[in-house]
Structure 1
């Protein structure tokens, strides 16, 4: 697993600042040039990336390694654009399909105009993306961000300011054979930490005559500058010890051992930041899932924890709730997610067990109400799961991901009433059991849902079989029958509260 430290170049001289800004300007322009060439020759036979790197090096005055880094950044941008194009097509196809289903069911007269307008808008977007897909093209990329581009179009920012915001990056990939990093290298001198930067200023050494009559190759040497770099480290005010994980020592250990690390320079608000990415050594796993495991269900307002043993039996459940997640700012939300991950790992280490989570992946393929849209848009499930996985990796806790299909439905219909917990903790129990490989059979109470249904087909009375060999198909059938029986009342609170009445309805 990789970690990124946000460092700062403090008190660089005016000359060094100008050199670094010039490097960023050349690098970003080289990246934009490389992206355009890669996009044009995406399906061209015989196109070679190393020839593009040579062209970038000649046109923008970068050394061979810097030009390769610029081309790689452009290539990664193009890969992400291809993935985003396929994702957008999937999302808008789903939105159009959902809107057409609404029209099939019937729409009120006062809602018809708004839905038609929305459908036309979705169809225009879908046609645009499908045209790109058909013509093997990609949507245009605005380097520097749309907001800055629109501000420049309105004239609210100057051309120089826009260029400064657009060309504010320099990336150097790590290389173990080059003492960690060839162009942006962290150097330790007399307990002080510096960043050694290879600039674009170069001097050419002419070839020299050897004793045997031959000539040496001419060499180009680049000017290097040393700038102090601040690596953050938070100390406790009470004890003076480090709070949390000691990232600084881990990074310096990588530097001393000359392991590879990537450095990205960013110019923001007149300051130069250095984002250093390096590989973390894996901690030995001491808290395993051999005896117990904690299943975690992720929700917009917190985490549901349910612990079981290795035989699938229930032990306890708890809900880590924090409603501030729904309204907090982005930076505050990151901190809250970190606190939740810390609590989860603490519970795991207390009981000496592993953690199982659901492998979530949401697709924005339908239009929902504004209140639901606000909740789902602020549902930082990926951030929470990433932080939990990172905390487990660093603290030696076994981490397992399972598929999330029907976990909430199975937990609601099978475990909530039995153990007196809500639907989220029921889903967490299903996640924990699924990590052990247990199958969730449909209880006998719901066997009435699997009676053959009489259907008249081609003038003949036939019976359809509703029992499937697949576990998820059976639970899908149970969920569909519940919706058919309860109609608008098919929500978790009603099902748990009126379970006996629903049972009588099933048996009837």
Structure 2
């Protein structure tokens, strides 16, 4: 698994800063030139040689520039497909609502207006896809471009936004990275940069700039807090494996993003005997432990309300603290972890309250951090299909073990990692499955069965959509059915 470390260049002289700035100008210009030529259909190999000759770059630097431009185009094409798919589904959802005869005239008018807007956007994305084109791309960000148009920033500031990076891919055959190499001398670390100037032997002139590799020491104990990035990367450099370096200029400082492969760690905590199922929520993790027979052991909820409204850096720190607690619990019990393989899509129009909650749901960051932590600590992590985990947990396990719906879902996630099937209890089958479907019921798959049960419960009382109502009035609802 790869990890990105954020370092910073320190104590650089004015001459070194000028060299780096000139390299950024040339490299970013090469990216923009390659971007235009690729859109015109130019062959990649021919383009690499042309960029190398035109901008006086070595072949590796020109390949990096062309690859960066190519990846930008590919990402734009993927975004086009995703946006078209999302808006197409939004249109279909609105059309289904419009088929209802009970809609008021005011509501119908509002939906028609929304449908027209969605259709225009979907049509716009479809035109780009059909013509094999992409929307205009602004190097330097659209935000800064608009500021420049309004005269809020100077031409110099605008050019600094457009020319602010150097990127170099690693190469194992060249002992790491030939153009942006991290070297260690007398206990100090330097970034060796291959400049555009040539020596008498026609080799690139190199400069060495001190670089600070992050290492957070505790003021009280002097020990390292969190991940020891410096030690991990120094060990990686000594192996001679490849690593990727990108220099970004921001607020007159030069930041280095170094991406390298983490060393493989043997699994010490597995799900052989027990496993912890985790349900990811906007305000924390719901944990439920089961044994290898699928039996309940305990449940807990690691709640952090501040995740819903904290700023970016603070939220990232809170995610790290939650993941740290989960890892410590897994190591204490010597068991593995099971999570949902979540992939949310923005293909539905929702109410403003839910949209706000959904927007603040940092599930990707939580699961990414958890995955990285498990790889570092040797904990087995199993991803399962998230379909109907909350529904099954609510209707089958919550009342039995006195859990919330989130812990019930976590139990289903844990059982699903062991490949257990979730049979529908007889009382639910008898009460909420119509007689005409009971003969064919055994031929349906697991999720189809639970879908039928859920829909019939909602038909009986629409208020049952609220999980707390089912937990509080379960006996009454079953009797009513």
TM range (shorter): over 0.9
- Report the 3-state secondary structure (helix = DSSP H, G, I; strand = E; otherwise coil) of the residue aligned with 1:141: coil
Instruction: State the Cα deviation string for residues 123-157 of structure 1 (Å, max 9, x = none).
Output: 11100001111111122222221111111121211
Q: What secondary structure is seen at the aligned counterpart in 2 of 1:273?
A: strand
Deviations 1:400-425 (A, max 9, x none): 00000000000000000000001000
Provide, for residues 145-179 of structure 1, a one-character-per-residue CA deviation record: whole Å limited to 9, x for no partner: 11111111212112221111111010011111112
Query: Which sections of structure 1, spanning at least 5 residues, go unmatched?
Result: 42-46, 206-219, 455-462
Are the equivalent residues in 1 in contact too, given 2:433–2:456 (CA < 8 A)?
Answer: no
With normalisation by structure 2, the TM-score equals 0.97
Could you tell me which residue of structure 2 aligns to residue 44 of structure 1?
Answer: none
Is 1:100 the counterpart of 2:90? The answer is no
Instruction: Give the alignment partner of residue 274 of structure 2, picking from 284, 292, 316.
Output: 292
| Matching residue within 191, 195, 204 for 2:191 | 195
* Map of 2:204 onto structure 1: 222
Counterpart among 133, 150, 153 of residue 154 in structure 1 = 150
Structure 1 residue 429: Cα displacement: 0.1
2:166 corresponds in structure 1 to: 170
* Pair 1:123 & 2:119 matched: yes
Are the aligned partners of 1:451 and 1:466 in contact in 2 as well (CA < 8 Å)? Answer: no
SS of the equivalent of 2:118 reads helix
Partner of 2:262: 280
CA contact (8 A) 2:429 2:453 kept: no
Matched, 1:433 2:415: yes
Aligned residue number for residue 464 of structure 2: 489
Cα offset, 1:108, TM superposition? 2.4
Aligned equivalents of 2:392, 2:215: Cα separation in 1 = 45
Q: For residue 133 of structure 2, what is the aligned residue in structure 1?
A: 137
Decide whether aligned partners of structure 1 residues 468 and 152 sit closer, same or farther in structure 2, where only a CA change above 3 A counts.
Answer: farther
Distance 2:453 2:35 in 1: 51
The aligned residue for residue 233 of structure 2 is: 251
User: Are the aligned partners of 1:56 and 1:67 in contact in 2 as well (CA < 8 Å)?
Assistant: yes
Task: Decide which of 416, 422, 428 is 2:404's aligned counterpart.
Answer: 422
Count of matched residue pairs:
479
More displaced 10-residue stretch of structure 1: 74-83 or 314-323: 74-83
Query: How far, CA to CA, are the matches of 1:112 and 1:167 in structure 2?
Result: 50
Q: Does 1:479 align with 2:454?
A: yes
1:315 is matched with which residue? 297
CA distance in 1, matches of 2:317, 2:468: 31
Task: Please say which structure displays the higher CA radius of gyration.
Answer: 1
Please say if 1:268 is aligned against 2:271. Answer: no
Name which of 370, 374, 378 aligns with 1:388: 370
| Aligned residues of 1:450 and 1:467 also touching (Cα < 8 A) | no
Equivalent of residue 351 in structure 1, options 312, 333, 340: 333
Deviation at 1:203, TM superposition (A): 4.1
2:19 matched to 1:19?
yes
Paired position in structure 2 for 1:6: 6
Indicate yes or no: 2:45 matched with 1:50.
Answer: yes
Task: Say if 2:340 and 2:386, in contact at 8 Å, map to a contact too.
Answer: yes
Please give the per-residue CA displacement for 1:443-491, whole angstroms capped at 9, x wherever unaligned. 101223333449xxxxxxxx99555431111011111111111123332
Q: Flag structure 2 segments of 5+ consecutive residues without an equivalent.
A: none
Cα distance between partner residues in 1 of 2:406 and 2:133: 44
The structural deviation recorded for 1:59 is: 1.5
CA distance in 2, matches of 1:86, 1:344: 36
Distance 1:204 1:85 in 2: 49
The 8 Å contact of residues 297 and 305 in structure 1, kept in 2 or not, is answered as: yes
Distance 1:365 1:123 in 2: 13
Question: 1 CA distance for matches of 2:124 and 2:160?
Answer: 32
Q: Distance in 1 between matches of 2:46 and 2:227?
A: 44
Q: Which runs of 4+ in 1 moved over 4 A?
A: 463-467
Normalised by the length of structure 1, the TM-score is 0.92
Residue in 2 aligned with 1:31? Answer: 31
Residue equivalent to 1:457: none
Mapped partners of 2:349, 2:182: distance in 1: 49
Q: Cα offset for 1:314? A: 0.1
CA distance in 2, matches of 1:40, 1:178: 33
Deviations 1:156-212 (A, max 9, x none): 11222111111101001111111211000111111111111011112464xxxxxxx
Provide the aligned C-alpha RMSD in A.
1.5
CA distance in structure 2 between the aligned counterparts of 1:117 and 1:464, rounded to whole angstroms: 45
Match of 2:178 in 1: 182
SS of 2:272's partner is coil
In structure 1, what is the Cα distance between the partners aligned to 2:463 and 2:120?
34
